[in-house]
Amino acid sequence: MTRPLRRRVLYIPGYDPIPPRRYRELYKREGTEQARISGYELGFGARRDRKNFGWGVTGQFGDQRIETEFEVLVWADIVQGSMGQGILTTYGQLLRTAWAYIGSGALFRLMRLRRGPVIAALYPVVVLLVQLLVSVLAGVLVGWGLGHLTTLGWWLGLPVALALTWGGLHLWRRFDGKIFAWYLMHDYAFTAQNQGAYPPALEKRIARFADRIAEVLADDWDEVLVIGHSSGAYLGISVLADLIRSGRVPKGGPQLSYLSLGHVVPMASFLPRANRLRADLRYLSARDELDWIDVTAPGDACSFGLCDPVSVSGVEPADRRHPLILSAAFAQTLSPEKRRELRGRWFRLHFQYLCSFDRPGDYDYFAITAGPLTLAQRFAGRGHSPGRIARAVNRWTKT
């Protein structure tokens, strides 16, 4: 009996505070639906290797059996730490982040690529300022009313106005799970906090991720597939660049593949001190130790759809090999009914890469992760999708 193809997937989430089990639940739910639509079979269970969090998947594609083991490379603790900020600190982040992008000129250059993600970046700034204005106005009106109704005047009205303003901001933050303004503010502030340079805690985590991938590459896998989604896409670039620089990709070992999904690379690489990321982009794009496919969609307003992360960052080397830029083509791969259901749910659309498509095309997350072909085999002979944006518009290109 032929040994089933064995794949190890290491998934790097974006800026996300949720526990990794949510990714397992999402994969099982959406994978079951995609298997029903596409006519293959997926089975879910435990991983043989219980180190860190993950799950096992068995794929049956015709007469071909595939065994996949997933592992989530967790940095949610760093995200949670950066989100645990008070109200005043968050508004301080707002001012510093706005200045980081406006003062460096990055904001205006980003707008020359895609306006959608720039609007998404401005969204939390506008919402938080509106929330502050509404809270202040409510506090002042009530305080003014009390000041005129009592003999204490503003001795009573001012403390009441301040208390109501503060209370209003607390309420806005408490209900942010519906509109994600505070969450997104922390996200962009985290990226911009050092003008694009990684903070020390994240550098340590990147080194740990590289060590873990090197450990996995030493095992008997047919393919080791690293996946980075959203902010995790640029972390994956740095992780893999460090891994290859250190000579830890064994010759004759498993096929090393990298799938970047819904990337936001320019939000970091366009900042003045993102020298490390730009150097990693240049280096990784020329290496033959891996295959790198980048998938985005113009319909995803939270990513830089079809923007080549290497080219637009202004660091494309003469011997560039990667990545291949492909579109998930939401307009074709999602039915009109499904698109209507998702209309206005831009945050959910940003996760569509990890979900089922009711009119699947070449991009099928579950066939890629649990199917019989390696990433390179699946997209062999493909060229860049039409509409690829490759013009260098970044002002800051130092590496």
How far is it, in rounded angstroms, from Cα 371 to Cα 58? 9
Residue 151 has pLDDT above 60, yes or no: no
Q: Report the CATH fold assignment for 5-77+197-378.
A: Rossmann fold (3.40.50)
Measured from the Cβ of residue 149, the count of other Cβ atoms closer than 10 Å reads 11
269 and 278 in contact (C-beta within 8 Å)? yes
Integer Cα distance of 135 and 129 in angstroms: 10
In this structure, what are the phi and psi dihedrals at residue 59, rounded to the nearest 5 degrees?
Answer: -105, 140
Is it the case that residue 7 has pLDDT exceeding 70?
A: yes
pLDDT tens for 71-109 read 999 999 999 999 877 899 999 999 999 999 999 999 999
> Is there a cis peptide before residue 323, judged by omega within 30 degrees of 0?
yes
Instruction: Tell which residue, 376, 378, 369, has the closest CA to residue 34.
Output: 369
DSSP state of 300: -
pLDDT in the model for residue 174: 87
| Per-residue pLDDT at 150 | 60
What percentage of the chain has pLDDT greater than the value 90? 78
Structure tokens at 252: 């004759």
* Rounded Cα distance, 384 and 132, in Å: 45
Supply angle C-alpha 387, 305, 378, rounded to 5: 80
What's the helix, strand, coil split of the chain in %, to 5?
Answer: 50, 15, 35
Query: How distant is the alpha carbon of residue 16 from its chain centre?
Result: 8
For 213-263, what is each residue's pLDDT tens digit? 999 999 999 999 999 999 999 999 999 999 999 999 999 999 999 999 999
Bridge pairing between strands 54-61 and 255-261: unpaired
Query: Buried b vs exposed e over 240-279: b needs ≥16 C-beta within 10 Å?
Result: bbbbbeeebbeeeebbbbbbbbbbbbbbbbbbbbbbbbbe
Measured between alpha carbons, how far is 233 from 260 in angstroms, rounded to an integer?
5
User: 18 falls in which pLDDT band (50, 70, 90)?
Assistant: confident
Length of the chain counted residue by residue: 399
Residues 6+ apart with CB under 8 A from 209: 10, 12, 73, 235, 239
Strands (E), the chain: 5-12, 41-45, 54-61, 64-72, 223-229, 255-261, 291-296, 324-327
pLDDT for the residue 126? 94
pLDDT for 219 equals: 93
Give the integer Cα–Cα distance in Å for 236 and 267.
Answer: 15
Strands 291-296 and 324-327: parallel
Averaged pLDDT for residues 13-18 = 93
- On average, the pLDDT of the chain sits at 92
Domain boundaries, given as residue ranges, for the chain: 5-77+197-378, 86-192
pLDDT at 348 over 80: yes
Which residues sit opposite 7 in a β-bridge? 68, 223
Q: What gap in Å lies between CA 304 and CA 266, rounded to an integer?
A: 8
Beta strands in 74-201 (DSSP E): none
